[in-house]
Structure 1
Amino acid sequence: MRFYLTTHKRHWVRLTRVPLFLKSEHFVKAAKLTPALGPYAVDSGGFSELQRHGEWTRTPRQYVDDLRRIWECVGPYDWAAPQDWMCEDLIVHGGTAGPNVFAGTHLSVEEHQRRTVANFLELRSRAPDLRIAPVLQGDNVPAYERCAELYEKAGVDLRAEPVVGLGSVCRLQSTQKGAAIVTAMAAHGFKLHGFGFKTLGLEKVGHLLASADSAAWSYHARKRPPIAGHTHKNCANCLEYALSWRTRVLAAIPAWQQPLLNAA
């Protein structure tokens, strides 16, 4: 398994060889991009996009243009997420979670799945060279099975794909429902990427994933004093803290998984 450190700091790509996971928008805003030192993957930023607007405001053509600039300036990435449609209740129906307001798409889960598959097909058609990965979406095991069937009917062999993203599981990862979804999809032989996986989720199903990412280090850092000698208020934007957190997470994984999880 490859464990990506999710960050909003795009310049980290030139500071560490640890695998990084970054939103495409963080690269898009940069006037100048520099080559990456190590491996990285690109998130489309779909959760934030749908949370704020209830729809995608970037066209597939714009997204492909953004991905191509990243590819050419930063270097070939492992893979990039499509403009998928998450299926969490708040994304679909809207509402609030703490200070966060969700616009809501007010569409069905089935429509989210249809749009997810359609977008992947369009992006792959526009840019077959850019390593855009398919993503499965759903809200329960039968729904994820249905999404996999949509890809199959469209002629996409998910078993042959280098990576298949597993969406809408971030908040379920440490639950029995989340474990059931991961187990069911892994049983198909898909090389799964778990979005937003933390320690408890990795302990349960990490052995079934080809890769995972997490930004939990930043949340943890906000609630703790900074590392000794650091002058900032906290280490929520600190590479040293993030790398230390990643080491602790990997060390907490069951020993029989360590040789895989420690791989760069």
Structure 2
Amino acid sequence: MPTVTGPLFYLGAHQPHWLWNADFPLFVSHRQLTRKARLRPAVCRWALDSGGFTELSLNGRWTTTPGQYAVAGARYAEDLGMPDFLSQQDWMCEPFMIERTGLSVREHQERTVANYLDLRALAPTLPWLPVVQGWTLPDYLRCVELYASAGVDLAALPRVGLGSVCRRQSTGEIGHIVAALAGLGLKLHGFGVKAGGLQRYGYQLASADSMAWSYNARRLPPLPGCRGHKNCANCLTYATGWRARLLAGLAARGHQTDLFPLPTGEEAA
């Protein structure tokens, strides 16, 4: 597997078994990993998605306790190998999510900060990813202040998640938010960033992940030779090709050449 240095692009993966087959970084959900009774060392770099968007959308709250999540994180690190980071159990701040939980943006932010502190206390050796939550730029800046008041210097950490941007990440508003937070020295991870967002502000991110390939594949017939499934929404062959095309396209446009190295060798196959 080629050595990749610097910031990374994580391909979102529905299937935990890709951790034993892919040769590029993966972003895998806790909701999928927790269903696997047996795990073995991953053959690629990986990071953990908490599954929080689904959790809050379905339940209006977290049903997994910080203690349970910390135990799961420790298991993944031991069995799969240490991840680049494990996303905390944050509280998204999209208007529909605020309506779903019945809480305010401020309450979501306070719960997000409290959860990070809990996880760090429960499993201090694991690389927990704090997430800055909000909806407007003042919201995000206030969240940074909440972390600071709790003794967390976000700028000193290797990576900080940027929450509640997935469904609007190609907008100019998000570009301003990213620029402001990056200007504070935060090394940001963008959740669910699509090509439009990468072109607009990707150069200010430390890393990003995307599941857009699966949505695209669901609307298309399967690739030639992909027998046994009606589409390639869970297909590593399709995902690998999509990733290569994305990175090549961004490089051809003059974007992201530092953030997303072009695939080489086996990665380009």
TM-score of the aligned structures, taking structure 2 as reference length: 0.92
> 1:256 offset after TM fit, Å?
4.8
Provide the rounded CA distance (Å) in 2 between the counterparts of 1:160 and 1:208.
17
Alignment map for 1:129-148 (pairs within 5 Å): 129-148=125-144
Aligned equivalent of 2:83, options 77, 82, 92: 77
Provide the secondary structure at the position in 2 that maps to 1:255: coil
Provide the secondary structure at the position in 2 that maps to 1:21: strand
Deviating above 4 A after TM superposition, structure 1's stretches of 4 or more consecutive aligned residues are none
Q: Give the unaligned 5+ runs of structure 2.
A: 1-6, 264-269
Listed one character per residue, the Cα deviations across residues 120-150 of structure 1 (whole Å, up to 9, x for unaligned) are 0010011110100110000010000000000
Aligned equivalent of 1:124, options 113, 120, 127: 120
Provide the rounded CA distance (Å) in 1 between the counterparts of 2:225 and 2:170.
35
Aligned to 2:65: 59
Number of aligned residue pairs: 254
Aligned residues of 1:251 and 1:258 also touching (Cα < 8 A)? no
Aligned to 2:209: 213
> 1:16 offset after TM fit, Å?
1.3
Provide the rounded CA distance (Å) in 2 between the counterparts of 1:181 and 1:119.
23
Aligned equivalent of 2:236, options 228, 236, 239: 239
Aligned to 1:97: none
Listed one character per residue, the Cα deviations across residues 231-260 of structure 1 (whole Å, up to 9, x for unaligned) are 121111100100100111111213252243
Provide the rounded CA distance (Å) in 1 between the counterparts of 2:262 and 2:187.
16
Provide the rounded CA distance (Å) in 1 between the counterparts of 2:123 and 2:226.
44
Aligned to 2:3: none
Aligned to 1:38: 44
Provide the rounded CA distance (Å) in 1 between the counterparts of 2:255 and 2:79.
38
Partner AA of 1:234 in structure 2: N
The 1:256–1:43 alpha-carbon spacing in structure 2 relative to 1, beyond 3 Å, is closer
Provide the rounded CA distance (Å) in 1 between the counterparts of 2:222 and 2:255.
32
Q: Give the unaligned 5+ runs of structure 1.
A: 94-103
Listed one character per residue, the Cα deviations across residues 130-179 of structure 1 (whole Å, up to 9, x for unaligned) are 10011000001000000000011111111110100000011121111111
Aligned to 2:147: 151
> 1:263 offset after TM fit, Å?
6.5
Aligned equivalent of 1:49, options 39, 51, 55: 55
Provide the rounded CA distance (Å) in 1 between the counterparts of 2:125 and 2:262.
26
Provide the secondary structure at the position in 1 that maps to 2:158: coil
Provide the rounded CA distance (Å) in 2 between the counterparts of 1:230 and 1:117.
44
Alignment map for 1:70-219 (pairs within 5 Å): 70-93=76-99, 104-219=100-215
Aligned to 1:101: none
* Greater CA drift, 224-233 or 128-137: 224-233
Aligned residues of 1:60 and 1:119 also touching (Cα < 8 A)? yes
Provide the rounded CA distance (Å) in 2 between the counterparts of 1:225 and 1:20.
24
RMSD after superposition = 1.1
